Structure 1
Amino acid sequence: MDTTEPGPARVPPAPEDIRVVLNGTTLTVGGLIALADGEAVPAVAPEARERAARSWHTAQRLAAAGRLYGRGTGVGAHRAVTVDADDESAHGLRLLRSHAGGAGALLPARQVRAMLAIRANQLLAGGSGIHPSFVDALTEALRLGVHPAVNEYGAVGTGDLTALAQTGLTLIGERPWLDGRPESRRSGGPVGGPVGGPADAPDGLLDGRPTAGLYDWLDSRPADRRGPGPVGRTPDGAVGEADTGTGTDTGTGNEPVGGGDGAPVARPDNGTGTSSARPLALAPDAPPTGLPAPDAPPTGLPAPDTSSARLPAPVTLRPGDALALLSSNALALAQAALGRHALDVLLRATHAVAALSLAGVSGAAEAYAAPVHALRPYPGAARAAGEVRRLLGLPDRPAGPGRRIQDPYGFRAFPQVHGCALDAGDRLREVVEVEINCASENPVVMPDGTAAYHHGGFFAAPLGLAVEAAGLALLQTAQLSAARLAALGDPRLTGLPAFLAAGPASSSGTMILEYTANSALAELRACAAPASTGHAVLSHGLEEAAGFAGQAARQLLRATDAYATVLACELVVAVRALRLHPVRPPVAAFTVADAALPDGLDDRPLTADVTAAAELLPRLARL
């Protein structure tokens, strides 16, 4: 028993006290998750914003010297249709409006916030030619805790066109902002919450529709925390420092840049708690070239009252900005990053659960011996075996076969199978971190300012295939989890009562958890079907293939949810088996799980046990 005296209670830092540096080159998945969860705020590196400003100037110069796709031309099958110079601003607005055709349920705030952070960081890489005021607005939305309404369906893995068009219309003031912060953060309460809690759900939505009882439109903060008057305006209607349109400004010069590794860094406290970024320019009162404003707000979204809401000021849409904003897979990357984060937590927790199951069946440790894995030096397999040895306090060279010469595959082949999932997760992280830190816009403006190239870098094949590899590997390790669960209920392996039941011989014990786990496993199996086998021919045949990376990323998110249930079922059964052992193992994983899970061996509903086990997984992952 731990007899150490508890230390002083630690108050977690407020989100505004932690910054993640966005510089277009070093954002990590960890830093991105902190921004998506509202546990940190973005800090734009001044040199990166200056790079974006240079890119905008370069694009303007190149467009004036010759046609660039999407600036002097239409898009897709209209690539050869010329856009008159005096129509370019209106063309951009039409492009945003026409491409904002997403459908389906509104996405959770967490996913959309991750998308905003990724797109801002990509723009700072300096290849888009967009005006840097868009970076300012994207990061300001993250600071203020608001996000655009984005629908689930609309992308096929060649750019998240509908999601980013909806974002663009929100940035220029045509669509309302949503407040996606949990209630505790809106009212100044404590930061945080359990994994899978409010930050993972579409806050304020019921079946994808705004619900007044869940949140007030745009901003539910108390009046004393909102801005003084209309959006971004002073009482006389001014906007603060006017945007000259030069794109050469770099902020006030006191923005913290941190260590440059993209991870959260300490924020120097200036006592104000407010952003030092300069005010954003407001969009013109009328659309360019007399284009009418939409007659009504987007379907299902009531017209907002912005008279007292603290929101990013609308951005002026300039020639070329629209396509530059759209040319990205930022949403698919956001979903893949969130899926990878959940995968990482679960795979680390699996080491602890599998170790407890191995102890529960008195399994042989030979399969985990370091010399075995040195012969086939796969990093993931060696790591999986090493983690089980560490958690059970086993030596690198365990002695003897134990009770049996050969254990079932769920125990004997665990390092090999689970190691593939670890390796796939690492590969997915590498791909995501490449994509969120590079310029992939089409056309891409070269950093030396000499050219803009038309290309296919927006085709998300690397991302989609990496996501699918992770999903397939997760299915394999989940199948072993279900197999271990079944083995724990077999008296021929454990020497314990069938299904670990107490009472009469007909008692069912944990029998039903095999069914529950296999039900979740079926969802995993469905999610592992590769989305990349799909096909699409679009835009008059010009785009005759698609990678469907966004669909693959959403499948991974669902798969991780299902795997948490499979693993929780195994944990419940492993702990029960160890409780029936004459001597309970003196290992931290069992001590933690034994204290957290309900007691009792009688036949009873086990839903609460599985729920408690699922909530425990992040803690086991940290052991």
Structure 2
Amino acid sequence: MVEDSPVVLDGQSLGADDVVRVARYHAPVALHADGLARLDASWRASQRLVVRRQVYGRTTGVGANRDQIVSTEGWAEHGLRLLRSHAGGLGGMLPEEQVRAMMVVRLNQLLAGGAGVRGAVADALLDALNRGCYPGVHEYGAIGTGDLTALAETGLTLLGERFWLGSTQTPGPIELDSGDALALISSNALTIGIAGLAWQDAHQLLKATHVVAALSFLAVDGAVEAYDERVHLGRPHPGQVAVAAEMRRLLAEPARPPARIQDPFGYRCFPQVHGPAVDAATDLARVLDVEFNAAAENPLIVADHFGQEDDAAYHHGAFHSAYLGQALDRLRLSMLHTGHLSTARLATLVEPNFTGLRPFLAEGVRGSSGVMILEYSANSALAEVRSLAEPASIGNAVVSRGQEENSSFAFQSASQALRSLSAFRLVLACEVVAAVRALRLRGIVPETPALRAAFEAAESKLNPDMADRQLSPDVEVASGLLDDFAAC
């Protein structure tokens, strides 16, 4: 699907939905005049500054070479050497959507007006995005203090030294100005872009989880009082309160009385366990709103709009992505716990004491296995979620002769988040298959419009055959239904 309406970048208002539209759906991109004005002012300030003082990375080396002064006549060649020497990524090439996410984030950041880069660089990124071209970017090279290798590879592609991927209608090469190199690569745009994709996936799956849990709840005649507003006002964590309210919306007051005085944790503690994941996603969204629109380049070039005397270059550490890395770590861990509850609910769906049906929701001859294997498959996928929940931020690297002695590993955290969410989707899909089957066998149809719509969508697409058969296609269909569930 290709979107027609453009995403307008201004350096101040880019959101995760915009990143997804450009990265995944190839929405066209346009640049706002205000952002272009900030970019131009910053570039002009950088040109004035380098003749008055030493500016890191422009008139000096980088990293531990910060004290090495570059001669004036060697500035342009210095920038080219910087890109070539830093384009040292390793491993396989990243998928197109991740690289496009990086490109749109970096382009928007340039419009925030702190990079001191020429407008030609922004124009080239814009042209590539709208042509459907993207640079080949390796998967290894970032440690959470700037995506240096990825952006250096991007810079060399803009210069024509590396091939474009994607469309064959490639942009022409641009020329490198003396300050463009470090100004381009001083960013975590790849990490931020991937994190934006992960947030979108998490946001959708978290909403869908309410629907899936509600379907299972009906299949086992759960006790709705666990979601009563008075319970959650007594301990009003925001996510918990929101989850309970959503369950009340989806379930209302079921016509069937509860089968137990209280349910297992998969139902009874759902708001208390799923709520932290909702809160983690909310916190990640807040961090991303800052990062998408950040002027975090080192040095930060600030233009004096009333003259030239107050132009400034600030040397700093705003490129360190501890906020983002730790927010992503928290999200992955909280998603693991809500995944635990999904497998717990699946265990109740195959148990006759909860459904009144045969073991494993089997039909046909005695000894039929029904959905038995779904427990194995779901727990296998959950094991992947568990292994990826290890905080990436507990690692550290000391580099550049000891001058850069702390790393956030936010890139690893973002990449792990995408992989974890892919596995989480399969866990949830297994529960969908079992819940819909149980409701069919019991002849239960949800009463609220939202939950009924989800159930009817599942009924229309999931195979009604109850005989023992391969269930992998059902899980694949259920996985696709989750985005529809999120809209219910």
Note the C-alpha offset of 1:330. 0.3
**From 487, 492, 509, the counterpart of 2:353:** 492
> Contact 1:36/1:110 (CA < 8 Å) preserved in 2?
yes
SS in 1 for 2:455: helix
Contact 1:69 1:75 (8 Å CA) reproduced: yes
2:31 to 44, 53, 59: 44
Q: Which protein is richer in helix relative to its size?
A: 2
**What is the aligned counterpart of 1:518 among 351, 371, 379?**
379
Residues 1:173 and 2:34 are matched in the alignment: no
Contact 1:366 1:400 in 2 (8 A): no
Q: How far apart, in 1, do the equivalents of 2:397 and 2:344 lie?
A: 38
SS at match of 2:282: helix
Distance 1:399 1:38 in 2: 43
Alignment partner of 1:543 is 2:408: no
The whole-number CA distance in structure 1 between the counterparts of 2:25 and 2:174 is 23
1:451 positional shift: 1.3
Please give the alpha-carbon distance, in whole angstroms, between the structure 2 residues aligned to 1:507 and 1:38: 44
Deviation at 1:544, TM superposition (A): 1.0
- Does 2:173 correspond to 1:314? yes
1:590 to 450, 455, 463: 455
The alignment's TM-score, normalised by the length of structure 1, stands at 0.75
Match of 1:423 in 2: 279
Q: Contact conserved, 1:365 with 1:401, CA < 8 A, in 2?
A: no
Matching of residue 53 in structure 1 with residue 40 in structure 2: yes
1:382 to 235, 241, 256: 241
Mapped to 2, the partners of 1:38 and 1:337 lie a distance apart of: 14
1:600 to 442, 449, 465: 465
Q: Distance in 2 between matches of 1:135 and 1:583?
A: 57
- Give me the whole-angstrom Cα distance separating, in 2, the residues matched to 1:364 and 1:581: 18
Q: 1:74: Cα distance to partner?
A: 0.4
**Once the 2 structures are TM-superposed, how far is the Cα of residue 570 of structure 1 from its aligned partner?**
0.2
- Which position in structure 2 is the counterpart of 1:363? 222
Q: How does 1:225-304 map to 2 (within 5 A)?
A: none
> Does the 8 Å CA contact 1:391/1:588 hold for their aligned counterparts?
no
User: Does 2:229 match 1:408?
Assistant: no
**1:447 Cα deviation (Å)?**
4.4
Tell me, yes or no, if the aligned pair for 1:443 and 1:453 is still in contact at 8 Å: yes
**Do residues 508 (structure 1) and 384 (structure 2) align?**
no
The answer to whether 1:339 aligns with 2:198 is yes
CA distance in 2, matches of 1:511, 1:74: 62
2-side partners of 1:38 and 1:314: how far apart?
A: 26
* Distance in 1 separating the partners of 2:407 and 2:81: 25
3-state SS of paired residue (1:380):
helix
Secondary structure of the residue aligned to 2:50 is: helix
Q: Is residue 2:122 matched to residue 1:135?
A: yes
Superposition deviation, residue 423 in structure 1: 1.0
Whole-Å Cα distance in 2 between the matches of residues 51 and 580 of structure 1? 63
Q: Distance in 1 between matches of 2:486 and 2:446?
A: 19
Residue 402 of structure 1 deviates from its aligned partner by 2.0
Deviation at 1:363, TM superposition (A): 0.5
1:574 aligns to 2:435 (yes or no): yes
Q: Which residue of 1 is the match for residue 324 of structure 2?
A: 463
Cα deviation, 1:157-192, whole Å, max 9, x if unaligned, reads 00000000000001111111111xxxxxxxxxxxxx
- What is the 5 A alignment of 1:203-218? none
Contact conserved, 2:284 with 2:328, CA < 8 A, in 1? Answer: yes
Instruction: State the alpha-carbon separation in 1 of the partners of residues 390 and 303 from structure 2.
Output: 40
C-alpha contact (below 8 Å) 2:45/2:303 kept by paired residues: no
Q: Verify: 1:80 aligned to 2:88, yes or no.
A: no
Per-residue CA deviations over 1:515-554 (Å, capped at 9, x if unaligned) read 0000000000011000111111111111111100000000
Could you list the runs of 5+ residues in structure 2 that have no partner in the other structure? 305-309
Separation in structure 2 between the aligned mates of residue 600 and residue 41 of structure 1, nearest angstrom: 44
1:496 Cα deviation from its structure 2 partner: 1.4
- Alignment partner, residue 71 of structure 1: 58
Contact 1:130–1:325 (8 Å) recurs in 2:
yes
Deviations 1:404-440 (A, max 9, x none): 1110000001111111111111111111110110100
The structure-2 alpha-carbon separation of the partners of 1:502 and 1:129, relative to structure 1 and needing over 3 Å to count, comes to same
Deviation for aligned residue 1:379: 2.2
Amino acid at match of 2:294: C
Q: Is structure 2 residue 157 aligned with structure 1 residue 148?
A: no
Which sits farther off after the overlay, 418-427 or 368-377? 368-377
Shift in alpha-carbon separation, 1:460–1:85, aligned structure 2, 3 A: same
Q: Is the 8 A contact 1:366 1:399 kept in 2?
A: no
1:138 aligned partner, one-letter code: L
Aligned residue type for 1:122: Q
Question: Do the aligned partners of 2:219 and 2:444 also contact (CA within 8 Å) in 1?
Answer: no
Name the Cα RMSD after superposition. Answer: 1.5
Residue 304 of structure 2 is aligned to residue 443 of structure 1: no
TM-score scaled to structure 2, two decimals?
0.96
SS of 2:142 mapped into structure 1: coil
Q: Deviations over 1:466-503 (max 9, x none)?
A: 11111011001001001100111111122211111112
For residues 296 and 60 of structure 2, what CA distance do their matches in structure 1 show?
19
**Per the alignment, in what secondary structure is the counterpart of residue 25 of structure 2?**
coil
Contact 1:366 1:401 in 2 (8 A): no
> Is the CA contact (8 Å cut-off) linking 2:221 and 2:257 kept in structure 1?
no
- The aligned counterpart of 2:307 is none
Tell me if the contact between 2:221 and 2:256 (Cα under 8 Å) persists in the aligned partners: no
Q: Tell me the amino acid that sits aligned with residue 388 of structure 1.
A: M
CA distance in 1 between counterparts of 2:321 and 2:263 reads 42
Once residues 330 and 134 of structure 1 are traced to their aligned partners in structure 2, the CA distance between those partners, rounded to angstroms, is: 15
Taking the aligned partners of 1:374 and 1:138, their CA distance within structure 2 comes to: 50
Tell me whether 1:348 sits opposite 2:211 in the alignment. no
Counterpart for residue 388 of structure 2: 527
Q: Secondary structure at the match of 2:139?
A: strand
2:414 is equivalent to residue 553 of structure 1: yes
Partner of 2:478: 613
1:401 Cα deviation from its structure 2 partner = 7.5
Alpha-carbon deviation of 1:574? Answer: 0.3
Q: What is the Cα deviation at residue 450 of structure 1?
A: 2.8
- d(CA) in 1 for partners of 2:443, 2:175: 72
Unaligned runs of 5+ in 1: 1-11, 180-217, 220-309
Determine the C-alpha separation between the residues in 1 that align with 2:235 and 2:66.
52
Secondary structure (helix, strand or coil) at the match of 1:37 reads helix
Post-superposition shift, 1:118? 0.4
Aligned residues, how many?
Answer: 479
Q: Give the aligned residue type for 2:284.
A: L
Q: Give the Cα separation in 2 of the matches to 1:47 and 1:350.
A: 41
Q: Secondary structure at the match of 1:406?
A: coil
Identity, in percent, stands at 52
